[in-house]
Amino acid sequence: MSKIQEIATAVENGKTKIVAGLVQEALNEGIAAQEILNVGMIQAMDVVGAKFGRGDIFVPEMLIAAKAMKNGVEVLKPKLAAAGSSSLGKVVIGTVIGDLHDIGKNLVAMMIESAGFEVKDLGVDVPVDKFVEAVDSDSEVKIMAVSALLTTTMPAMKDTVDALNASKNRARFKILVGGAPITQDFANQIKADSYAPDAASAAKAAKALIA
Amino acid sequence: MLTKRQNLLETIRGGNPDRFVNQYEAFMCQPTRYGMIMVNPYVEAYPAITRGGKIKNAWGVTIFWPENVPGAFPMHDDEHKVLKDITEWRKVVKAPPLDFPQKEWDKFKPSLDAIDRNELFATLFNAPGIFEQLHYLMGMDDCLANFYEEPEAMKELINFVTEWQINYATLLCENFRPDALFQHDDWGSHRSSFISPAMFDEFLVPAYKKLYGCYKSKGVELIVHHNDAYSANLVPSMIEMGIDIWQGPVTTNNTPELVKKYGGKISFMGDIDNGIIDRVDWTREVLAAEARRAVTTNGKMYYIPCCTMGGPESSYPGVYEALSEEIDKLSKEMF
């Protein structure tokens, strides 16, 4: 098994304690940091996301796979920075005002980050103007990911998406929505660009939005 | 006409109910928010969270309820998280004492004696459940990762929480003689269970077998467990735990199939999603159609038409009551 394959297997299986060591070994062997990241980790997380989507694995397995990847990325960071590698882009995520749910939002953030994006997490109970400010103040933001977990906060999601759609910078970012009561129909109604039913498909949707 | 209690038992035992059990009607025996037995010396000893407030609960968990949010949430930022390292749980987690003078229990006797136990189940309400207690203490992310990374420490903590729950259950049963327990513990999202059936069987089933076994050994006839999530994959485990009624199955579970497969071993109370009927733009037509779909597809046995909400209420005024009226209409039509 190649070193990269070893890393990918360790990430897929959530071996949080050994990934950093394997990544260091791969670097020592002269494998490029970007290749380790793309093939050993991001592709491995794609596999994890697909398994989650099929119901073959559950949240803890996805969580520890992402943790394993994070440990490996820490080792790669200086090399990636030195090589001038860039992420797929910046994603801003948050749960709408009036809603304190963070589990789904955190999982989505984790999977989007694992797919190669830089993620800025605004947290929960985020006012509309904070979402707008986040995108207007940072020209690097490519995706605004908006979460709502309650039927009572669906109107707040609509308000948030309305305000983002009205942004003077609307042309430079996409809007991704999700959460338990949200459907594709609702996403269409409120004029979001994309809808994802779970964390794994959110990562896929984010990639599709910037393709 | 059967009493509400008799009608429920006929429904879950495959007998001869004379109408649909209407949502929570058989459990509403007290003038409390959910109509169940919700107050006792332990509950009274600690501050109750109210909208706009922030409290530290009996286990040291900080609970916050902002004005603009429909419910309270535990706080898990660095400042507030109770258990930051599961291996340190023995030093950090302190179970609240339960040694209350007998007179504190006795003062509830008149309201309990007033319950017509022929008509209704004297039903205890209890929350949070064992799984919820774990993630209240450490946050959901740590909780789920710890099942993998520190399984032994998690089992020890689960055992500690369960033993406390058993002591609490013993006091409740000895003093209140409940007929039914309504226990909250959510085990999944609308799309999947949080953990795999194998992990669930390893960590939570033994704990709940002990807890629900305790309630049943002390005379509780009915265990009703609230979990408004996808958990079709956990139903065999629920049966093993001793759950009589799973309250809260959302439509993604394909409840009619579960009724066919497991009816007689467990019953299902829900399959009418709050996400569909309890919205700002709710209408009687949508709600009536959902109620009709639910009773038509699930049938009359081992199924109780109910919203998936964990109590007899709705987010939007009038929804719960309107659903009850529609279920009554369907009873008149179908029985």
| Cβ contact, residue pair A198, B280, below 8 Å | no
Q: Which residues pair with B271 in a beta bridge?
A: B306
Instruction: State ipTM.
Output: 0.87
The alpha-carbon gap from B119 to the nearest alpha carbon of chain A, in Å, equals: 34
Interface test with A, best of B190, B252, B276 (most A CBs within 10 A): B190
Taking a C-beta distance cutoff of 8 angstroms, is the pair A150, A100 a contact? Answer: no
pLDDT band for A53, please (50, 70, 90 cuts). Answer: confident
| Interchain contact A119–B (C-beta under 8 A) | no
**Do A63 and A103 reside in the same domain of the chain?**
no
The verdict on A102 and A191 lying in the same domain is: yes
Q: In this complex, is the C-beta atom of B64 within 8 Å of any C-beta atom belonging to chain A?
A: yes
Of the residues A82, A114, A141, which one is the last residue of a structural domain? A82
ω into B317 cis (within 30 of 0)? no
Contact A59 B192 (CB under 8 A): yes
- Report chain B residues whose CB lies below 8 A from the CB of A109: none
**Which pLDDT score, from 0 to 100, does residue B236 have?**
98
Q: Which structural domain range is residue A40 located in?
A: 3-82
Query: Each residue of B2-23: pLDDT tens digit?
Result: 999 999 999 999 999 999 999 9
Residue A98 sits in the same domain as residue A150:
yes
Same domain (yes/no): A119, A190: yes
A115 and A46 inside one domain: no
Q: Name the residue among A60, A61, A100 with its Cβ closest to that of B69.
A: A100
Pairwise CA distance, residues B70 & B51, whole Å = 8
CA distance linking residue A93 with residue A126, whole number of Å: 10
**CATH number of the domain encompassing residue B277:** 3.20.20.210
Q: Are residues A189 and A159 in the same domain?
A: yes
Minimum-distance CB partner of B148 among A64, A102, A150 = A64
Q: Are the beta carbons of B315 and A58 separated by less than 8 Å?
A: no
Per-residue model confidence as pLDDT tens digits over A1-37: 799 999 999 999 999 999 999 999 999 999 999 999 9
CATH number for position A34: 1.10.1240.10
Is residue B70 pLDDT above 80, yes or no? no
Q: Based on the fold, state whether residues A46 and A97 are members of the same structural domain.
A: no
Contact with chain B for residue A165, Cβ under 8 A = no
Predicted local distance difference test score (pLDDT) of residue B68: 74
CB contact under 8 A, B189 and A58: no
Please say if the pLDDT value at position B51 is more than 90.
Answer: no
Tokens of B162: 């369960």
pLDDT number for residue B106: 98
Task: Tell me which residue in B195, B275, B316 faces A58 most closely, judged by beta carbons.
Answer: B195
- For residues B24 and B306, the answer to whether their CB atoms sit within 8 Å is yes
Q: Is A113 on the interface with B (CB under 8 A)?
A: no
Spatial CB neighbours of B192, under 8 Å, sequence gap ≥ 6 = A55, A58, A59, A198, B230
Mean pLDDT of B204-231: 98
Angle subtended at Cα A195 by Cα A194 and Cα A199, rounded to the nearest 5 degrees: 120
**Nearest-angstrom CA–CA distance, A68 and A54:** 21
Gap between the Cα atoms of B141 and A115, Å rounded: 19
Residues A74 and A106 in one domain: no
pLDDT one-digit tens code per residue, A110-132: 899 989 999 999 999 999 999 99
- The Cα–Cα gap between B206 and B190 comes to 25
Query: Which residue in A12, A58, A154 has the most chain B C-beta atoms within 10 A of its own C-beta, making it the best mutation to test that interface?
Result: A58
Coil, helix or strand at residue A175: strand
* Average pLDDT over all residues of chain B: 96
pLDDT tens track for B31-44: 999 999 999 999 99
Nearest to A180 among B140, B275, B316 (CB): B275
Q: Does A83 touch chain B (CB under 8 A)?
A: no
Digit-coded pLDDT (tens) for A178-210 = 998 899 999 999 999 999 988 889 999 999 999
Domain membership of residue B279 as a residue range: 4-334
For position A155, which CATH number holds?
3.40.50.280
Cβ proximity of B192 and A53 under 8 Å:
no
- Based on the fold, state whether residues A193 and A107 are members of the same structural domain: yes
Average pLDDT on B140-160 reads 95
Which chain B residues touch A181 with a CB distance below 8 Å? 275, 279
Using a CB-CB cut-off of 8 Å, the residues of chain B touching A151 are: 274-275, 278-280, 315
What is the pLDDT at residue B72?
Answer: 85
pTM of the predicted structure, to 2 decimals: 0.91
The confidence band for B48, taking pLDDT boundaries of 50, 70 and 90, is confident
Mean pLDDT of A98-116: 89
Q: Please give the residue of chain A at the shortest CA–CA distance from B72.
A: A100
Strand partners, B180: B123, B222
Residue B321 makes CB contacts below 8 A (sequence gap 6+) with none
Longest Cα–Cα distance of chain A, Å, equals 54
Separation CA B248–CA B266 (nearest Å): 13
| End-of-domain residue from the set A42, A66, A82 | A82
Same domain, A102 and A203: yes
> How much is the pLDDT for A21?
97
Residue A165 and residue A133 share a domain:
yes
Together in a domain, A65 and A95: no
**What is the tens place of the pLDDT at every residue in B277-330?**
998 899 999 999 999 999 999 999 999 999 999 999 998 999 999 999 999 999
Overall average pLDDT of the B139-150 stretch: 93
Last residue of one domain, picked from the residues A82, A104, A120: A82
Mean pLDDT, residues B53-73 taken together: 88
Beta-strand pair B54-56/B62-64: antiparallel
| Contact criterion met (CB below 8 Å) for B194 and B187 | yes
Instruction: Phi first, then psi: give them for residue B138, nearest 5 degrees.
Output: -120, -5
Nearest C-alpha of chain A: how many angstroms from B37?
27
Q: Give the C-alpha separation, B23 to B248, whole Å.
A: 11
**Structural domain count, chain B:** 1
**B121 φ, ψ (degrees, to nearest 5):** -90, 130
Nearest CB partner across the interface for B279, out of A57, A100, A154 = A154
Distance (Å) from the C-alpha of residue B67 to the closest C-alpha of chain A? Answer: 8
Cβ pair A60:B66 closer than 8 A: no
